[in-house]
Amino acid sequence: MRPRSVRARTTLAATLVVAVALAAAGAVVVLSLWTSLRGQADDEAQNTARTVATRLAAGTAYAKLDLDDDVPILVQTADGATVARSDELGYVTSVFGAPEDDVDAGEIGDVDYSTGTATLDGDTEDYRFASLAVGTADRGTLTVHAGASLSAEQSAVRTALTVLLIVLPLLLAVVAAVTWLVTRRALRPVEGIRREMAAITASQDLARRVPEPDARDEVARLARTTNETLAALEASVERQRRFVADASHELRSPIASLRTQLEVAAAHPELLDLDGAVEDTVRLQHLAADLLLLARLDAGEKPRSAPVDLAALARETAAGRAGVRVEAPPGVEVAGSRGQLARVLANLLDNAARHTRTSVEVTVRRSGAEAVLTVADDGPGVPVAERERIFERFVRLDDARGRDDGGAGLGLAIARDIAVRHGGSLTAGEGPKGGAAFELRLRRPETRRGPGSRGGAWRPGPAPC
């Protein structure tokens, strides 16, 4: 079953990695030890065989070879007959090497090695045998087989394996314990973040924040990002709560007025204020339309991407409005939704009309890769400290003004949201005549000129949605 906690998985992974590494290292150690001891046994067997072969080459008689009783030694003739052997040597089981058959008198051939068992003084052990041929003048070619015990090698390998089998589990236990403790300490801030997030979820108190470790590692960055997310979520929820409250307040007034008029008309038809009822109904309709548009914008609705002649749109929207002068060269194009951009311009003109003294000026120009539309009036202007706040929803600086003349305070908020959704910006400043000036900046579509072309080619933005 796969562990569910990060700490358990980390500990298991670290232990497995160390286990594999230790097993590989142990195998290398044992193999190196075995190879080294095997080489020592080969050298010992070869030295013994060459000593006996040297004596035979010098003509020493078999009975005077003085063979070591502690080492298995055999001397055989070319036909395999044993002519000399260690006194204590009993049964020998070995696949002896095959030394050279043709060796001149006085010469000693190359050594071949083999492994077998031999009984020496009643004890049977494993041996490493060295076999070589030696030439004699009167006895022909003889073969000398000399062995070296492998008991030391086997004992050392067994000891090494025993140590590994004891030490390896202990080391793995230490590694697992250290990894468990270190991982627990490293993940302690994460657990604190989890507990605090669970508490925030249970209490729905978005003002709370998770603890931030005093470090610069990934956990600290996670805590900071989590707190930034909580702050943004708190601000969003607060804006949503304030928006709902303001919307309820704004809707209550025209609905109450309309209901009052209808109740009066029901009791006294001759007192029905039809114009007022229609006006309240229209105002309610406009407010509902604004709220629906804001809801769609908040939901992330993307504007359609189509070429829009900003200059032509400015002239069309300003047509029929008293005191509005438009200065716009033709061909200033942007990409976006014509209907939404017309809504931006209409909202700006409505706002300017409520504050201007004599006239409103609309200008359209190019500024590098951007198209700039400015709506300026000659009214009292907007104080510097309020130039950002006026774009908040349901904000009206002229609170003493009657609601019927003012509006709900959504026009500039809608205009900025649409501008941002189009990848642009909307800011407030001071106009040339001292009044307010609202500047809308939108990126112009890229043009490209291919070989043989006579004009710019439209390159649309995102696909319509």
Higher-pLDDT residue of 170 and 274 is: 170
Could you give the percent of the chain with pLDDT greater than 90?
28
- Whether residue 234 is predicted with pLDDT greater than 70 in this model: the reply is yes
DSSP string, 313-376: HHHHHHTT-TTEEEE--TT-EEEE-HHHHHHHHHHHHHHHHHH-SS-EEEEEEEETTEEEEEEE
Res 461: pLDDT: 40
- pLDDT, mean over the chain: 83
Partners of 75 in the β-ladder: 84, 144
Of 140, 169, 157, the closest CA to residue 41 belongs to: 157
Q: Do residues 261 and 273 make contact, with C-beta atoms less than 8 angstroms apart?
A: yes
- Whether residue 91 is predicted with pLDDT greater than 60 in this model: the reply is yes
Res 448: pLDDT: 36
DSSP state, 410? -
Q: What is the pLDDT of residues 389-447, one digit of tens each?
A: 888 877 776 543 444 445 667 889 889 989 998 989 999 999 888 899 999 999 988 64
List all residues 6 or more positions away from 374 whose beta carbon is below 8 Å from its beta carbon: 361, 362, 363, 364, 365, 437, 438, 439, 440
Domains and CATH numbers, the chain: 11-156 (3.30.450), 218-295 (1.10.287), 303-443 (3.30.565.10)
Res 146: pLDDT: 92
Confidence of residue 4 (pLDDT cuts 50, 70, 90): low
Q: How many CA atoms lie within 13 A of 462 on its CB side?
A: 11
What is the value of pTM for the model shown?
Answer: 0.51
Q: Do residues 230 and 222 make contact, with C-beta atoms less than 8 angstroms apart?
A: no
- Mean pLDDT across the stretch 63-80? 87
Alpha-carbon 2 to chain mean position: 22
Res 408: pLDDT: 67
Q: What is the dihedral of CA 335, 336, 338, 341, to 10 degrees?
A: -110
Q: What is the pLDDT of residues 16-69, one digit of tens each?
A: 999 999 999 999 999 999 999 999 999 999 999 999 999 998 888 988 888 888
Res 404: pLDDT: 47
Could you give the percent of the chain with pLDDT greater than 70?
88
- Whether residue 450 is predicted with pLDDT greater than 60 in this model: the reply is no
CA dihedral (449, 455, 461, 463) positive or negative: negative
Confidence of residue 260 (pLDDT cuts 50, 70, 90): confident
Residue 276: both structure tokens together: 């007022």
Which of 238-242, 246-250, 383-387 is least confident?
A: 246-250
Of 310, 346, 311, 330, the closest CA to residue 424 belongs to: 310
Res 447: pLDDT: 44
Q: What is the pLDDT of residues 268-326, one digit of tens each?
A: 777 767 777 777 777 777 777 777 777 777 766 677 788 999 999 999 999 989 889 99
Res 41: pLDDT: 92
- Mean pLDDT across the stretch 437-465? 56
Of 142, 100, 147, the closest CA to residue 124 belongs to: 147
